Amino acid sequence: MFAVIKTGGKQYKVAKDDIIAVEKITADAGSSVKFDQVLLVGDKVGAPVVDGASVTAEVLEQFRDEKVIVFKKKRRQNYRRKNGHRQALTLVKITGISG
């Protein structure tokens, strides 16, 4: 059985024992988190969320993604800007789907 959850403004299709990287969640490694915004469970489709459904997960680690270079340029205007960004992510393992 699988579910579609929404966290950090993104949607993820998850099943039991999946390991996914989501936007940073304020939780320590080893703790358990619960996702309440479940959009779909098996064949039940929510409008917009499925009532009473939840997905539990275990936090594995907090980390930062690879650097993304943001480079802006306007030709013939002597305008160049270079900037970098590293997104903070949380690695979680799905432990259960109820709903």
pLDDT in tens, 26-63: 999 999 999 999 999 988 898 999 999 999 999 999 99
Q: What total of structural domains would you count in the chain?
A: 1
Q: Is the pLDDT of residue 73 over 90?
A: yes
pLDDT grade, residue 87 (50/70/90)?
very high
Q: Cis omega before residue 48 (within 30°)?
A: yes
**Angstrom distance (rounded) from CA 60 to CA 74:** 43
**Angstrom distance (rounded) from CA 92 to CA 87:** 16
Who's near 68: CB < 8 A, 6+ residues apart?
84, 85, 86, 87
**Angstrom distance (rounded) from CA 88 to CA 53:** 27
Contact 57, 95 (CB under 8 A): yes
> Structural domain of residue 34, as residue ranges?
2-98
- Structure tokens, 29: 């490694």
